Amino acid sequence: MTLTPEPDHIPVLLAEVVEALAPKDKGTYLDGTFGAGGYTVAILDAAACVVWAIDRDPEALSSGEALFARYPDRLHLVHGRFGDMVDLLGSRGVSGVDGIALDLGVSSMQIDDRARGFSFLRDGPLDMRMEKSGRSAADVVNTLSEKELADIIFLYGEERHARRVARAIVEGRRERPFSRTLHLADVIRSEVRRANDGIDPATRTFQALRIYVNDELGELERGLRGAERMLRPGGVLAVVSFHSLEDRIVKTFLRARSGAAIRPSRHTPASLGGATSVATFKPLSRRPITPTDHETATNPRARSARLRIAERTAAPLLTTVAGGLA
């Protein structure tokens, strides 16, 4: 008999993430995207350690409570956003951790539940809020200007036909405001032809709206800065991203933070100057780690996944070195 129900979400790059974090007995780890708990369970099974797991989706956390019995005193579930990790854990007496995992985006449970409104294949309310609160996707498409919609669809969906889609949305909502996913998907499909790659034309616009509604890129930036604060020297950050916008943010952040000594500005007081190395991270792999052919064959969600890993150095935060904002 197994203690956990069969998860609907197959964790992506699980072995690689756990290998990178190398959990140790008595260590403290942070899983910023609990989801179905795949990473959390693997970390807890790898060592006699403690895991603090955050998820912004209250439903994900309620399902996770079943794990308390299996890991008494070792698992802590926290509702909130990983972008707020410093405050969320700080207010619970945790100021440093030995490893952090972020597995970005939505889970299969969220996509598959039509009531959550993420899917352009199954009809449901046009919602897309991971937190189940705040502004929904319907609010966004029914109220933003055509220009704002076009910008969002272009920027976050990398949709070449963003203007055309935005125009169709604004015309469509005059007739009937959007409240269902398939209504929106049909309007998009009537404007954008299916490309040779077979990808549904609604994919990019739905991605854009989801990213915007949940401020996913802002969260990622805040999460990376939070990780820089929370990780103890030697602690590892592992981030799995699923599209180029996310991966670019992670790559740029790690590149900036792992640069050689930053030349102090001539305005920096001499006492703070000198050849201070401010590299707070050391990348552990030059290129992003991608799933094996076997993994992509058995889990289609893994296809676009990219894992970047880096180790926190002992360097203090830039704020404390140069007095400015990092």
Ligand X SMILES: C[S@@+](CC[C@H](N)C(=O)[O-])C[C@H]1O[C@@H](n2cnc3c(N)ncnc32)[C@H](O)[C@@H]1O
Alpha-carbon distance of 250 to 240, in angstroms, equals 9
Q: What angle do CA 103, 320, 278 make, to 5 degrees?
A: 65
Q: How far is the CB of 105 from ligand X (least distance, A)?
A: 5
Least CB distance from residue 132 to ligand X, whole Å? 10
Name the minimum Å distance from CB 81 to ligand X: 4
Looking at the Cβ atoms of 28 and 63, the one nearer to ligand X is 63
Binding region for ligand X (CB under 6 A): 9, 11, 32-33, 35-39, 54-57, 60, 81-83, 103, 105-107, 130, 219
In the complex, the smallest distance separating the C-beta of residue 30 from ligand X, rounded to whole angstroms, is 11
23 versus 83: smaller Cβ distance to ligand X: 83
Spell out the alpha helix ranges (H) of the chain. Answer: 14-21, 38-46, 58-64, 85-90, 108-112, 137-143, 146-157, 162-175, 181-191, 202-213, 216-230, 244-257, 293-298, 318-322
Other beta carbons less than 10 A from residue 217's beta carbon: 17
Nearer to ligand X, 67 or 169 (CB): 67
- Measured CA to CA, the distance from residue 251 to residue 31 in angstroms comes to 20
- Give the nearest distance from C-beta 285 to ligand X in angstroms: 19
- DSSP class per residue in 66-116: GGTTTSTTTEEEEES-GGGHHHHHHTTT---EEEEEEE-S--HHHHH-GGG
The residue among 28 and 107 lying less far from ligand X, judged by its C-beta, is 107
> By C-beta, is 27 or 226 nearer to ligand X?
226
